[in-house]
Amino acid sequence: MKELLKETNQGWGWKCEPWLYYKRRGPGRVNDICPMIVIDALRGYWVLSEYPEHLIHAGKSLLNCWTERSKYKPYMFGHGKKFRLPRAPFFWYNIGTVLDAVSHYPKLVKTKAFQELLAVSLLEFQSNGLFIPKSIYLYFKEYSFGQKKEPSPWITLFLSRIYKRAFDIDPSIIDKIKKIEAKKLKGSKGGDKYKK
């Protein structure tokens, strides 16, 4: 994976290139990072006792997609309403997927971007501490996370585990999140050019 790591508009990471020796590239702009590849890499490495430092650089690039969202977004990877609503199961790019992948790495948990994402995800919880999905995949309508009217114990547990991991890494994260006005954090604007 390190051999495939490249510098992108968002920082070091992996681009949307489907095959090593295949001339056709994936969707999006030539120099954009592919957030889902970075998420998959982060998810793959966290089960190991050690991980390469370049993985942290790629994780920071993933978080840069959120940080720089007002100026630029990678093609098909916006940060609007759909991104902000945790949509299970978490196999596509949304706030739950990003938080899950990043929450296993102390250097990434301590970033401002992660803390902002955490604060935004908390907006969707009910006063009783449960989570009712507002965005679902119809294929999963028979599951708790496929219902829009009832709380989902599964998503509640999924997100609660992320919060616990973050707290275990940085107990001061609660105070940091309380200072973030999550409702005022706007989504992606998009645009064709990225300026470093």
Q: What is the pLDDT of residues 38-86, one digit of tens each?
A: 999 999 888 887 888 889 999 999 999 999 998 888 888 889 888 998 8
Model pLDDT, residue 152: 92
Residue 191 lies in a domain: no
| CB-facing half-sphere around the CA of 16: CA atoms within 13 A | 17
Residue 10 lies in a domain: yes
How sure is the predictor about 4, in pLDDT bands with cuts at 50, 70 and 90?
A: confident
Q: Is 94 within 8 Å of 145 (Cβ atoms)?
A: no
Strand, coil or helix: 130: coil
80 token code pair: 């609007």
Residue 195 lies in a domain: no
Helix axes 112-122, 95-102, angle to 10 degrees: 130
Residue 192 lies in a domain: no
Dist. CA 182–CA 114, nearest whole Å: 12
Q: Is the pLDDT of residue 98 over 90?
A: yes
The percentage of the chain sitting over the pLDDT mark of 70, rounded to a whole number, equals 90
Residue 189 lies in a domain: no
Q: Is the pLDDT of residue 27 over 80?
A: no
- Each residue's pLDDT tens digit, 123-180: 989 888 899 888 888 888 888 888 888 899 999 999 999 999 999 999 999 999 999 9
Q: Taking the CB of residue 46, how many other CB atoms lie within 10 A of it?
A: 16
Domain that holds residue 48: 2-184
How sure is the predictor about 195, in pLDDT bands with cuts at 50, 70 and 90?
A: very low
Residue 15 lies in a domain: yes
What's the distance, CA 183 to chain centroid? Answer: 18
**In total, how many domains does the chain have?**
1
What's the distance, CA 106 to chain centroid? Answer: 15
Residue 194 lies in a domain: no
- Cα dihedral 6→10→13→16 (10° resolution): -80
Rama region for 162: left / alpha / beta (φ>0; ψ in -120 to 50; rest):
alpha
| DSSP 8-state secondary structure symbol assigned to residue 125 | B
Residue 193 lies in a domain: no
Q: For all residues of the chain together, what is the average pLDDT? A: 87
What's the distance, CA 148 to chain centroid? Answer: 22
Map tokens 């938080």 to a residue: 99
